[in-house]
Amino acid sequence: MRPTLTLLAVLTASALAAGPVAAQESVLNLYSARHYQTDEALYTNFTRATGIRINRLDGKEDELVERIRNEGAASPADVLITVDASRLEVADRMGLFQPLHSQVLEARVPAALRTAHWAAFSTRARVIVYNKAALKAEQVPSYESLADPRLKGQVCMRSGGHPYNLSLGGAMIAHAGEAATEAWARGLVANFARPPRGGDTDQLKSVAAGECGVTISNTYYLARLMRSSAPADQATMRSLAVVWPNQATWGTHVNVSGAGILEHAPHKAAALRFLEYLASDEAQGYFANGNNEWPVVRTAVVRNPALESLGSFRADTLAIGELAKNAATAQKVYDRAGWK
Ligand code: FE
């Protein structure tokens, strides 16, 4: 997962070798924090359709953002692709993106899933998952319900500082306000079965093992376990049940994978073509299904039995850019509430 220096060396060398100005648009330098094998088909098809070759630098989100900032005006990066709105917001606040103008994206990506500087290309929901032997769905209908004192010692969560939880907090602040979100976080912390540790999958395993009764997880982690042939993963899923949170109030919190064109992109036209390609019906299938996510384009069809088995739900309609803006406030709220 570490950025490969060799790849960047190759990238720089090939950029230099490109020479004549006319050849410049045949290359796209993509900084990617998506690590899914299935994305390979996406890149191959883009090159086949456009003749534009992709030089990809894979890395962790924070490291790529740091790198782009340090490279400054000399950065070879054209596009940054990453997951989670709050991470895209961090890059945006640093001024790393340029304004995004595209009639194709405006027509195909719903307005609530775009900002002035980046667009979402797939969505994932943050759902409540409980142990069927410990709890009933009626006890955990909403994010807010996990702060109910009756669930003392039953809640497992990953770190409050993780972008997934910051974005959730950002949404709650938008709907309920900062004070209510802080009260919720305090109640949640008071219900912890153990201090936060691990990722979403670790929480799911803890709930299945009975270490706790309930947690919150992104949907693709559930889909991954459902599609796994490993007996341990199948046993984990047999113990769990999923609730679409907040169906009676503001809807289930949804986050995104997204991308933006960088301020100093050397190949701006190629970058725009790539983002527009990501919104094509074909690419939407690869992009979303590569990580068991939903496409953002309504006409794109994804056949994903694991996702389909979760059923339909009412999603929060809050603009993704709005909740992302609240993520920094969510961090302060969680700090005050002691959600480490
Ligand atoms: Fe994840």
Both 46 and 195 in a single domain?
no
CA of 164 to the centre of ligand 1 (A): 8
Does residue 199 fall inside a structural domain?
yes
Both 95 and 147 in a single domain?
no
CA of 24 to the centre of ligand 1 (A): 34
CA of 74 to the centre of ligand 1 (A): 30
169-198: b (≥16 Cβ within 10 Å) or e? bbbbbbbbebeebbbbbbbbbebbbeebee
pLDDT at 21: 45
Mean pLDDT by 10-residue block, N- to C-terminus, for the chain (340 residues)? Answer: 41 43 72 86 94 96 96 98 94 97 98 97 98 98 98 98 97 98 98 98 98 98 97 98 98 97 98 97 90 94 91 96 95 98
pLDDT at 25: 56
Does residue 65 fall inside a structural domain?
yes
**pTM, entire model:** 0.90
CA of 201 to the centre of ligand 1 (A): 9
Both 197 and 333 in a single domain?
yes
Both 191 and 321 in a single domain?
yes
pLDDT at 8: 46
Both 280 and 210 in a single domain?
no
CA diameter of the chain: 69
Domain harbouring 181, CATH code: 3.40.190.10
pLDDT at 290: 87
Q: What is the C-alpha to C-alpha distance for residues 46 and 118, in angstroms, rounded to an integer?
A: 19
Does residue 1 fall inside a structural domain?
no
CA of 188 to the centre of ligand 1 (A): 21
Q: Are 127 and 165 in contact (CB under 8 A)?
A: no
Both 75 and 133 in a single domain?
no
Does residue 271 fall inside a structural domain?
yes
CA distances from 61 to 84, 178, 185, 304 (A): 10, 27, 26, 26
The domain total for the chain is 2
Does residue 307 fall inside a structural domain?
no
Phi/psi for 122 (5° steps) reads -155, 160
Q: Which domain holds residue 296?
A: 7-122+257-301
Does residue 56 fall inside a structural domain?
yes
Q: Which helix (H) or strand (E) holds 92?
A: helix 85-93
Both 191 and 331 in a single domain?
yes
Q: What is the C-alpha to C-alpha distance for residues 291 and 307, in angstroms, rounded to an integer?
A: 11
Q: What is the C-alpha to C-alpha distance for residues 109 and 311, in angstroms, rounded to an integer?
A: 23
Does residue 308 fall inside a structural domain?
no
Both 189 and 317 in a single domain?
yes
CA of 286 to the centre of ligand 1 (A): 17
Both 173 and 67 in a single domain?
no
pLDDT at 34: 87
Both 128 and 229 in a single domain?
yes
Work out the angle at residue 119's Cα, subtended by the Cα atoms of residues 160 and 35, and round it to the nearest 5 degrees: 65
Q: What is the C-alpha to C-alpha distance for residues 7 and 5, in angstroms, rounded to an integer?
A: 5
Both 242 and 223 in a single domain?
yes
CA of 50 to the centre of ligand 1 (A): 30
- The gap from C-alpha 219 to its chain's centroid, in whole angstroms, comes to 11
Does residue 106 fall inside a structural domain?
yes
Both 200 and 330 in a single domain?
yes
